[in-house]
Amino acid sequence: MNKDLNTVPFVSVENMMRLVLENGVEQCIEKLAKYIEEDFRRWPLFDKTPRVASHSKEGVIELMPTSDGIDYGFKYVNGHPANMKRGLQTVTAFGLLSSVDTGYPVLLTEMTVLTALRTAATSAVATKYLAPKGAKTLALFGNGAQAEFQALALKHICGIENVRLYDIDPAATEKCARNLENSGLNIVKCKSGEEAVEGAEIITTCTADKQYATILTDNMVGNGIHINGIGGDCPGKTELHKDILLRSDIFVEYTPQTRIEGDIQQLNPEHPVTELWEVMSGAKKGRISDRQITLFDGVGFAIEDFSALRWLRDEIQGSDKYIDLDMIADPDDPRDLFGMVMREKDRMTNE
């Protein structure tokens, strides 16, 4: 990678897709999951704050910053559920990684595809620690843009063999089934949520509507189930019936953020939860019994994006998967920025 501090490596959507296709979706998720686990185990080192969100009736625009004292990263991301009706993505993102030492950016990248990979990787990491041993069947509620990544992540990292698909839009289920038909997974298209949970040891909900919703009702969740609730990710948006939460042991990323955005916004602010990093570091227990219901109330946190940016920075080293952008002014004298501009004026005049 170019060591010139005045240019910034930029990974475009095209180059991100090339990287993913050359390495394989599952392999990229596996590598990214290792970075997430590494960063979660050093969780106390990071700056942590709930994402900075600007809400409107149309959706939300957010900044997600963090630093480990060596690198600083942030992601810009939106969530606009109505975009789909316009033929637009409901979620788009870009991100930046900088050196704390100089403040100079060292990576700029698209993060729409990268966020899909990191979200799936995070679900798989949580599932690895919390799901019942030997789980083979996933019920996947919400078959939109995130669904295939979730299925492949749980297959590759957690050993899932069967995926039962359900979406209120049958076309989404057909799309997802078609995309996964050569994945090695046994795919079952279901006509109801009740049908989808039959025989499932793991349930993942990843729906997009920005509203209080009940995607899972209490009678659909039996003892011993692990749930990844990843669609409820902003104030006023939920997927799980409150009674499910009251029966579950709940695991979250960063408690102050999840209390605002996750399904636990339905509960008393004092309701006990465990942060996932505590389980991964061995400080607290995850699954402790076969009858326990575990819930990962995942809303997405900045450290996961930081991990994704670190992985990508390392992954593109020595590759052709980026271009250098001229983003940093480089005057001969750092104090003479005006003079640099005037010299460029002279150069343009003389051309």
Residues assigned a catalytic role: 233
Ramachandran class of 210: left when φ > 0, alpha when ψ lies in -120 to 50, beta otherwise: beta
- Whole-angstrom distance, CA of residue 228 vs CA of residue 240: 10
Q: Which amino acid is at 320?
A: D
* Cα dihedral sign, 181-183-188-189: negative
- Whole-angstrom distance, CA of residue 351 vs CA of residue 344: 11
- Whole-angstrom distance, CA of residue 309 vs CA of residue 64: 12
Neighbouring CB atoms inside 10 A of 247's CB total: 15
Q: Which amino acid is at 106?
A: V
- Whole-angstrom distance, CA of residue 344 vs CA of residue 350: 10
CB 166 within 8 A of CB 239: no
Provide the 3-class DSSP secondary structure of residue 9: strand
Q: Could you list the beta-strand ranges (E) of 270-310.
A: 274-275, 294-297
- Cα–Cα distances (Å) from 175 to 31, 308, 338, in that order, read 27, 27, 55
User: In this structure, what are the phi and psi dihedrals at residue 85, rounded to the nearest 5 degrees?
Assistant: -70, -20
**Tokens 């997802």 found at:** 176
Q: What does the block give as tokens for 59? A: 């959706």
CB 141 within 8 A of CB 203: yes
Provide the 3-class DSSP secondary structure of residue 108: strand
CB 13 within 8 A of CB 112: yes
Q: Which amino acid is at 90?
A: T
